[in-house]
Amino acid sequence: METIAHFTDIRNHIQEELKKAQQSIIVAVAWFTDAKLFDILCQKATAGLDVQLIVMDDDITRNCSIDYNRLEKCGGKLYQINNETTGTLMHNKFCVLDNKDTITGSYNWSIKAQSNHENITITKDSQELAEMFLTEFKRIRVQYHGNEPLKSYDVDIISKRLTIIENYIQLNEYENIKIHIEKICEYDIPSIVQSIIDSLNSTKYSNASLQIREYLIKIKSVTIFEDIDLEQIKWQIKYLEIEIIALENEKVTIEKIISDFVHTYTLSFGELILKILKLKIEKLKKEGKNTRAEEYQNAEEEYNNYNEQFKQEKKNDIKDLSDDEKEEIKQKYRKAVTLCHPDKFTDEEQKQKAHKIFVQLQDAYSKNDLRRVREILSNLESGIFDIDENIKTSNKEHLLAQLNYLKQKQQVLSQALTKIRNDKTYKQVINIKDMNKYFAEEKVRLETELKQFQNG
């Protein structure tokens, strides 16, 4: 969170922040007569942002040059409050941008205010503070204009919102979900969607994720018809991409749990286990390897294999991370995967670029290289890698080929995930409640086994 107070050049500071908005601009200002700032609101509304304005309806606003209704013609929403009829004065002066940045202070967005001694405070990246102002905005709007009538149910829009929510669930970025829930609730939604909303509001995200996938499968059936709309095919592709990334994230997470455990276990007990295996060979040799040839051969093979594994694990440069760092690398890895997964691209050149980055990302993640994962994510978000995730082609044949490929990939991944969930080591690891206690007990067990061989 960053908070900065401004006492001069206030209009330009507000103007700069408005231009940066990407999703929404929510404004409640008593007197708004600055045409330049109003023009920016209209431009943003025309660009598709959610722009809403509460302003007084009095002599000041009626006599200024601004046609406030122009905001609604551009796609925004206007709520005027007449203190003569309501008997109250709406004296607020705040703005919320993209549900996370706020502007507040004594400054009215008026021509006169530019020559007054005024102030504003801009607070960035504080969703908690922004939520307080959004709640107050809604309270004022409902008090003087009532609840907004529900919009007619739009399958396509709701599906897009739910797809975005599913993405956020997979990234564990739950704080970004609320705004999309609010948008969905503006519609007259059926019970199946309401059930999803209830799960989300109860923070039952795993359950909500499953419900969303089932809903999208039902609504966006992957059955291909000859006359299917190209946009629908693209949405089917987008859904399968999300599903594949979710499956691969789970698969990679399980594989990492296994590999991290094996690495730690091998480094902790490798020398001890090799001593046991060596003594086992010597014991069989004394008993006569000719009479127990197969067992002797198996023991030698086990020793040689484990010795190679031990040498390899010692070479593996896997960094130690704190619990917070482990959580950070997991979240940043998942976010980066959504930006560079090769299956998101249809253009072969882009696919190859993405594959190269994807391999580097997986390698960094497997080594717990948090610095490198951070770097890759930063480069992806800033566009340094020059890959574009949008489906650019409108060739139906190419899109259908991509769709069929993704369907096959999804099936293969589902089968692989089922298999790895049943992995013996994985089941063992997830059933260990106290890892420190487990390793302490394992040390005692192996040392006891070693003594038995030494004394035997």
pLDDT, tens digit, for every residue of 295-316?
888 888 998 998 999 899 888 8
The radius of gyration of the chain from alpha carbons, rounded to an integer in Å, stands at: 30
Pairing label, strands 77-81, 93-97: unpaired
Instruction: Assess contact for 118 and 131: CB atoms under 8 A.
Output: no
> d(Cα 217, Cα 240) in Å, to the nearest integer?
10
pLDDT, tens digit, for every residue of 420-431?
888 898 889 989
223 band by pLDDT with thresholds 50, 70 and 90: very low
Q: Is the pLDDT of residue 225 over 70?
A: no
18 band by pLDDT with thresholds 50, 70 and 90: very high
Q: Which residues contact 334 (CB under 8 A, 6 or more apart)?
A: 170, 171, 172, 249
What global pTM score does this model have?
0.50
> d(Cα 242, Cα 213) in Å, to the nearest integer?
10
pLDDT, tens digit, for every residue of 264-281?
999 999 999 999 999 888
What are the residue ranges spanned by the domains of the chain?
2-145, 155-219, 232-444
pLDDT, tens digit, for every residue of 92-129?
899 999 988 999 988 989 888 888 888 888 998 888 78
- Asked if the 2-145 domain carries CATH number 3.40.1160.10, the reply is no
Task: List the beta bridge partners of residue 123.
Answer: 3, 102
Instruction: Assess contact for 299 and 284: CB atoms under 8 A.
Output: yes
Q: How far apart are the first and last CA of the chain?
A: 66
Helix (H, G, I), strand (E, B) or coil at 395: coil
What's the rounded mean pLDDT across residues 196-215? 90
Side by side, the strands of the sheet bearing 101-105 are 2-6, 120-124, 101-105, 93-97, 24-29, 50-56, 77-81
Q: Is the pLDDT of residue 25 over 90?
A: yes
pLDDT at 388: 62
> d(Cα 307, Cα 314) in Å, to the nearest integer?
11
Write out the DSSP string of 187-230. Answer: B---HHHHHHHHHHHTT-HHHHHHHHHHHHHHHS-----TT--H
DSSP H helical ranges for 100-201 = 127-145, 155-170, 178-184, 191-201
Select from 27, 58, 32 the least CA-distant residue to 45: 27
What's the rounded mean pLDDT across residues 239-250? 80
> d(Cα 441, Cα 436) in Å, to the nearest integer?
9
> d(Cα 86, Cα 145) in Å, to the nearest integer?
11
Write out the DSSP string of 50-66. Answer: EEEEEEE-SHHHHTSS-
Cα 68–chain centre separation? 37
226 band by pLDDT with thresholds 50, 70 and 90: very low
pLDDT, tens digit, for every residue of 325-348?
988 998 899 888 888 888 878 778
What's the rounded mean pLDDT across residues 184-202? 87
For 251, the token pair is 């698969």
**∠ Cα 310 315 316 (to 5°):** 100
- Lowest mean pLDDT, pick from 382-386, 416-420, 438-442: 382-386
pLDDT, tens digit, for every residue of 157-176?
888 889 889 888 888 888 88
Helix (H) or strand (E) holding 33: none
